[in-house]
Copies of this chain bind each other. A is one copy, B any other.
Amino acid sequence: MASMTTGNSSRADANRRRILDVALAELLRDPDASMDQIARAAGVVRRTVYGHFPNREALVATLVDGAVEAVAAAHAAGRAGAEGPAEALAGGTLAVWEVADRYRILVALARRSVTLQGLRDRLAPVREACAEVLRQGLEAGVFTSALPAPAMAYVHEQLLFAVMDAVNDGLLTAREASRAATVTALTAAGVPASDATELVAKLSVEKGGPGG
């Protein structure tokens, strides 16, 4: 057991992955899930988890690192090559939605937790990038809002989670949620509903989004 971190058996590696996967889901369901709950859900004994991660904090940190990275990458990729703030906002939103399942846990964790407040900070760069896009849009007159750009970024973030909740509760399907969330995000930024719908439809087709 000494070199469980360095050594690479197929089994050990698979277990590690599965523990991380399951932990993500389990912590989403209950941010206070115990190591035992996670271990059992992963089909493993608690002691084994401690073989892969020195403590709970390390496990969660690994999880958070991966999720933050994935979201940041998706957001950046979604904005790449966009023409104008509206396209950038829509593209980033659509892209982030792709990793939504993993993103959810982030905020579920960030909401509570004395232990994990650093997480909000970790996510700040993404929010700032978003705020910058919003700022440009306001300046260019593409966006309109009673709120300053940074506050709009907060709204944008929460708006996505609201739609995720709605999906979870069966109020709309995951298929339609992606575009609906993006349209709503643009609308909340003051883009006329018709323009927002049109833009998102165009981007969805380009990027090969769901439906047609």
Q: Which residues of A contact B (CB under 8 A)?
A: 30-32, 108, 111-112, 114, 144-148, 150-151, 154-155, 157-159, 161-163, 165-166, 169, 171-172, 176, 179-180, 183-184, 187-188, 190, 192-193, 197
Cross-interface CB contact of A180 among B111, B146, B197, cutoff 8 Å: B146
Number of copies: 2
In the bound assembly, the distance between CA atoms of A162 and B145 in angstroms comes to: 14
Q: Is the CB of B190 within 8 A of A190?
A: no
Q: Is the CB of B150 within 8 A of A166?
A: yes
Residues of B within 8 A of A144 (CB): 187, 193
Jot down 26 A-B pairs with beta carbons below 8 A, ordered by A.
A31-B112, A32-B32, A32-B112, A32-B114, A108-B111, A108-B112, A144-B187, A144-B193, A145-B180, A145-B184, A146-B176, A146-B183, A146-B187, A147-B172, A147-B180, A147-B184, A151-B172, A151-B180, A154-B162, A154-B163, A154-B171, A155-B166, A155-B184, A157-B162, A158-B158, A158-B162
